[in-house]
């Protein structure tokens, strides 16, 4: 999901992987449980915990509706996804739904 009109940065030009992964790890490196755990901790530190205020039934896939609910509760600007049904919807009343390509091109 897109951050609400802000971009979370880990530090001056560093990525989450830079902050978490051991020296020498590459993007081709299989992520071990230890690295996955470190990344989870960092993402948890950056996250804002929200609770949906209402239940949605916009999409036929119920887990997709939960994503919309949390995006709305977190006041996200957009959801970045590859899910065809969500992309076809394009937006609900509170949040835009865009592809990774659209996000990178903006």
Q: Please tell me whether residue 98 adopts helix, strand or coil conformation.
A: strand
Global confidence as pTM = 0.62
* pLDDT, averaged across the chain: 80
Q: What CA–CA distance (Å, rounded) separates 4 from 87? A: 19
Higher pLDDT, 45 or 98: 98
Higher pLDDT, 94 or 52: 52
Q: What CA–CA distance (Å, rounded) separates 35 from 52? A: 30
Higher pLDDT, 35 or 66: 66
Answer for the pair 79, 68: CB distance below 8 angstroms, yes or no: yes
Q: Please tell me whether residue 78 adopts helix, strand or coil conformation.
A: strand
């Amino acid at each position: 999901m897109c951050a609400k009109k802000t971009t979370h940065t880990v530090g001056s030009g560093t990525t989450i992987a830079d902050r978490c992964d051991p020296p020498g790890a590459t993007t081709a490196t299989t992520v071990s449980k230890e690295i996955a755990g470190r990344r989870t901790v960092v993402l948890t530190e950056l996250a804002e915990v929200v609770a949906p205020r209402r239940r949605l039934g916009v999409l036929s896939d119920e887990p997709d509706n939960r994503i919309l609910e949390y995006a709305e509760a977190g006041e996200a600007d957009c959801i970045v996804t590859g899910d065809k049904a969500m992309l076809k919807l394009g937006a609900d009343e509170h949040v835009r739904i865009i592809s990774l390509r659209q996000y990178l091109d903006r």
